[in-house]
A and B are shown apart, each in its own frame.
Chain A
Amino acid sequence: MAIIEEPLALPSGEGPEKASNPMGAFSRPRKPTGLKDWLTTVDHKKIGIMYGTAAMFFLLWGGVPALLLRLQLARPNQGLLSGDTYNQIFTMHGTVMIFLVVMPIGAAFANYLLPLQVGARDVAFPRINAFSFWVFLAGGLMLNTSWFLGGGADGGWFNYAPNNGITYSPGTGIDFWNIGLLIVGFGSLTGAVNLITTVLNMRAPGMGWMRMPIFVWMTLVTQFLLLFAIPVLTVAQLLLLFDRQFDGNFFNVAQGADPLLWQHLFWIFGHPEVYLMILPAFGVVSEVIPTFARKPIFGYPFMVFSGIAIGFMGWGVWAHHMFVSGIGPLSVTAFSVATMFIAVPTGVKILNWLATLWGGKLILNTAMLFAIGLVTQFTLGGVSGVTHAIAPSDTQQTDTYYIVAHFHYVLFGGALFGFFSGFYFWWPKVFGYKLNEKIGKWNFWSMVLGFNLTFGPMHILGLQGMPRRMQTYDVSQGFSTWNMVATIGSFILGFATLSILYNAVYSYNAWRRGGRRNVGADPWDARTIEWSIQSPTPEHNFDVTPTVTSLDDFWHRKYQENDNGVLRRVATGEDLAQPGERGNVHLPAPSYWPIFLAFSLPVIGYGLIYSLWLCIPGIALVMTAMYGWSLEPADDLDDDSHHGDHDDHATELAGV
């Protein structure tokens, strides 16, 4: 809805604009500092950092309960957690990790890097960008308040109907899950519109389609998946909302309704969802591997088109989650073949990464190790994924720990390892200092050990027939040994994951004691244009909008072939780096409205759960926020720099 109201505030251009009345009934915050700066900022870099911080908080919030699950399963017949608590914990663990950890970390990278990599001052709609973050946080917090208001959702992260109906889940846990994720979905949708517009429309001069970094391509595909997948989930959740809150019949079997509708709608969203979690990580390692293999990425067009192919084919495989739902032999065959086929573009990517590594002068620092970790472990997860494509085999494995092993290999071993690689790689660009390499290597190797000890044995447990989501097992079933191994592994993994936070604190202190010396623009001798500006990134990004002449433009300005065709360095990164002088660049002014609008939505959410009367002030707040947003002055008109020379992009950004 924000988008609908948004167009009222148009750029306050020069000239004719002054003749007509500038629109504006409310003042904008002026040069805020401290906390207020963060709450009202519309700067894509600060929003990116906040996305990352919130996601790391939710990583702990969703990770520690997972350790409780492992403690419960460490030995047979334990009674540490009741069945009900166990159900709530695994449901909330999955929900939090997918919607509030992996997706937001992808959004954090996209927010911070996308404008820098396409050479823009900011995203297309800075205020909507701030709204996307705050609404994600508002929805995520609302979802988690269920813990204190009668318990969390307990139907698994996909909450199948009719189990999610009021008959079988009379508590409010599912309502919080449903409405919380609906609100989070608004953030994903507005974020998708914003980022796609940024990539399509705000590329620097010369940044043609085939000169965009692969991270930009993968994020673009991801955002298109979000744009089209989120509304389907929204519909599924609205139907559930109407069933639960207003006594509807969409999933009411007693009235002849078909609960399979939920499964179809959920997985039409759910399968693009898994690709939109992994593709940003693919983008990250596609930047890291060429940098530290000292070679251009092998087969750039293949990397681009395989990503697009994954994006398209991801829509045609959803029913492989439903092979045992009785969807009929023809459907099973079709989706089985489609699922095998989607492994091809993914395989192309793996091959290209390996070919990039092949013959490269490898620099095995932490970022590179994590990237190789993704390639290795994701491949393992991908191979077990192909075994799911074979329907007879999948029928045996469905709802066993084999599935749990598979998706943790692709999402933790794949996505999170890729994101950790990105953390180590771009940390100096974001904060001005590198993370400690020694702790980093400990971080990596302990994560590899813990990860494989935790999830490797689950393959065996699954094939032995241990069902997922069971609270306990008997000693006679023979699951005891590998469960104990997995539990030990999970605690190693827990501490290993935490060590990146320790590394951040340690490295920050070392940097502070060392006189806060920044690493300079280009600490890794990297390839893309975000390394041509100072670290940490100046508030205005680029002093001068870069003109791009080739793929890996920055690298080609540093290295050129001499007359004999031998590649020689002609300049250092520091020579070429922009000095970081702001000049007359005008930046969009901060705003109160994004956070105001975002935190108005849960008021309606609580109203739907507890009392419809509460919806009235909720809707009033939302309407106030929308009009406040639309009628906000396009810019801070008293800002002196407003009258100076303008950069095209900056002027454009000023109003939105």
Chain B
Amino acid sequence: MSDTDINVEDIDAAGADAAVAVADATTDHAEDHGHDDHGHEEHYTSLGLSNMKLAMWLFLGSECLLFGALISAYLLSKTRFIIELVAGNPNVLAGIRDGENESLVQEMIAEASVEPIFDIPFTSLSSFILLMSSLTMVLAHKSVSEGNYKNLRIWLATTMLLGATFMAGQVYEFTTFYREGLTYNGTVFGTAFYTLTGFHGAHVTGGLIMLGSLLFLSTRNKMQKDRAETVELVGLYWHFVDIVWVLIFTIVYLIP
């Protein structure tokens, strides 16, 4: 419990902002100890943040670049797909000369049945469901911090249910699109669309497995207050996956 002293001494060389951050973190910990006699022992760390949490943030930083590159690849592929459509059609070229290319391009895309197959209301609903699962995840973490294990299990199960509903929506959507002719290897657009959204789906599935593990451990009484941070870490990952979906939904579905 003596970590607070060391932390304060240690900040002399750090910049002012960092110093404030460390001091805040230190105060938080001190308060935690004050309120909570049964909390797990805090260990001295230079930043006052647990190693696990720092590592999770670093990992999520790395994931940002992963999705950034995937989204870039999607945008480029979509642009190239449209250019290919336009260049491959003499009517469109004529349209460009007449200054009417805008509507013709739209028409071409409609003909190739790419964008119109998106069912925006349906995907909006499943996006809403996924975002709501972030709320239940927060409630799960709150429950375990308070030692309310029954509520922890309820909220974990609810989060899983909402996440699974989103995944079911994606499976349904993929099946429908495939039936309507958008195949994985038919066009550049198909490849890019399925890869980007599929990658996100894989991340959600990974999150579901983690949530399931937490739920299982909780039923065996092995997910107690002293491991509240584990729930928090899974929560961080889960929120990240949700935020990425907000980006993907906007870029893939909403922007024409």
Contacts and interface: CB of A to CB of B under 8 A. Distances in A.
Given A249-B190, A648-B43, A652-B43, A235 B73 contact: yes
A20 B222 contact: yes
A10 B61 contact: no
A10 B81 CA distance: 48
21 contacts: A7-B233, A8-B213, A10-B52, A11-B43, A20-B222, A124-B51, A192-B58, A192-B62, A193-B55, A193-B59, A196-B54, A201-B46, A205-B10, A209-B14, A231-B66, A232-B68, A246-B184, A255-B188, A256-B80, A258-B76, A627-B213
A203 B44 CA distance: 10
A201 B76 contact: no
Given A7-B234, A236-B69, A200 B47 contact: yes
Given A193-B62, A227-B62, A257-B77, A13 B14 contact: no
A234 B64 CA distance: 13
A194 B55 contact: yes
Contacts of B18: 209
Contact of A5 (B65, B68, B185, B210): B210
Interface in B30-67: 38-41, 43-47, 49, 51-52, 54-56, 58-59, 61-63, 65-66
Given A7-B56, A21-B222, A228-B62, A13 B237 contact: no
B76 A4 contact: no
B41 A14 contact: yes
Given A20-B226, A125-B55, A248-B185, A239 B221 contact: no
B46 A247 contact: no
Contacts of A533: none
B73 A239 contact: yes
Contact of B55 (A14, A197, A228, A627): A197
Contacts of B59: 3-4, 193
A235 B76 CA distance: 14
A252 interface: yes
A250 B193 CA distance: 11
B230 interface: yes
B52 A196 contact: no
B243 to A, nearest CB: 16
Contact of A255 (B49, B56, B66, B84): B84
Contacts of A206: 9-10
B14 A265 contact: no
Contacts of B84: 255-256
A651 interface: yes
A261 interface: yes
B83 A200 contact: no
Contact of B41 (A13, A21, A242, A247): A13
Grouping DSSP codes into helix (H, G, I), strand (E, B) and loop, the A interface class, with mixed when no group exceeds half, is helix
Given A17-B40, A20-B224, A200-B46, A235 B55 contact: no
Contacts of A227: 58, 61-62
Nearest to A201: B45
Given A193-B59, A239-B73, A256-B81, A202 B45 contact: yes
A34 interface: no
Most buried by A among B43, B54, B63, B222: B43
Contacts of B80: 256-258
A256 B89 CA distance: 13
Sort A-B residue pairs by CB-CB distance and give the 8 closest, nearest first: A208-B13, A256-B84, A235-B69, A231-B66, A248-B191, A652-B43, A13-B41, A247-B185
A656 B51 contact: yes
B144 interface: no
Interface of A: 1, 3-8, 10-11, 13-17, 20-21, 23, 124-125, 189, 192-194, 196-197, 200-203, 205-211, 227-232, 234-236, 238-239, 242-243, 246-250, 252, 255-258, 261, 265, 268, 627, 630, 648-649, 651-652, 656
Contacts of B195: 238-239, 242, 248, 250
A257 B188 contact: yes
A235 B66 contact: yes
B229 A10 contact: yes
Q: How large is the interface on B (under 10, 10 to 19, 20 to 34, 35 or more residues)?
A: 35 or more
B73 A250 contact: yes
Nearest to B230: A7
B220 to A, nearest CB: 8
B13 A211 contact: yes
Nearest to B52: A7
Nearest to B66: A231
B188 A250 contact: yes
Contacts of A651: 41, 43
Contacts of B9: 205-206
A314 to B, nearest CB: 14
A630 B209 CA distance: 13
A196 B59 CA distance: 11
B254 interface: no
Nearest to B58: A193
Interface string B142-160: 0000000000000000000
A208 B10 contact: yes
Contacts of B187: 249, 255
Contact of A20 (B10, B88, B221, B229): B221
B36 to A, nearest CB: 10
B23 interface: no
B55 A234 contact: no
A249 B183 CA distance: 11
A197 B43 CA distance: 14
Given A10-B40, A10-B229, A258-B80, A231 B73 contact: no
Contacts of A250: 73, 77, 188, 191-192, 195
A228 to B, nearest CB: 5
A588 to B, nearest CB: 13
Which of B11, B12, B59 gathers the greatest number of chain A CB atoms within 10 Å? Answer: B59
A114 B54 CA distance: 18
Given A201-B46, A235-B70, 12 more contacts: A4-B59, A4-B210, A7-B56, A13-B40, A207-B46, A209-B14, A211-B13, A231-B65, A255-B188, A651-B41, A652-B43, A652-B45
B10 A11 contact: no
B44 A648 contact: yes
A537 B87 CA distance: 67
Contacts of A202: 45-46, 51
Interface string B1-36: 001001001111111001000000000000000000
B181 interface: no
Interface in B223-237: 224-227, 229-230, 233-234, 237
Contacts of A261: 73, 76-77
B168 interface: no
Contacts of B66: 231-232, 234-235
B117 interface: no
